[in-house]
Structure 1
């Protein structure tokens, strides 16, 4: 398997909601560093974490995350 990346719009959505990385981390039960790593495409979240992030940002998984075109 190749090194897969998952695109996301977390930073934009977070800004729209006025939520900091630390606040999002607290709401989803992870560290701020984890949120930062997901936002920057360094870490691919588990399905559960991705769904928690989407819920916290009041959006859907498929609106927040996408696979790059091949």
Structure 2
């Protein structure tokens, strides 16, 4: 990917999740996920009542905690 697309498209990390977060209309919640991973407050990033698969959301939050802590640590340096 780096050779064909460049370094901009290489992710810092990959988090494997069991399910993709979807709205009630079955749209992917890509932007809220990005905001959460950037350290934004969960309640400000996404409306919980608009998520169709809450189990996947809670699993995502648990799996992303180490990533969020690392981002916060880097911001405070």
Could you say which TM-score interval applies, normalised by the shorter chain? 0.3 to 0.5
Question: Which has more strand, going by share of residues?
Answer: 1
- TM-score when normalising by structure 2: 0.31
Rg: which structure is higher?
2
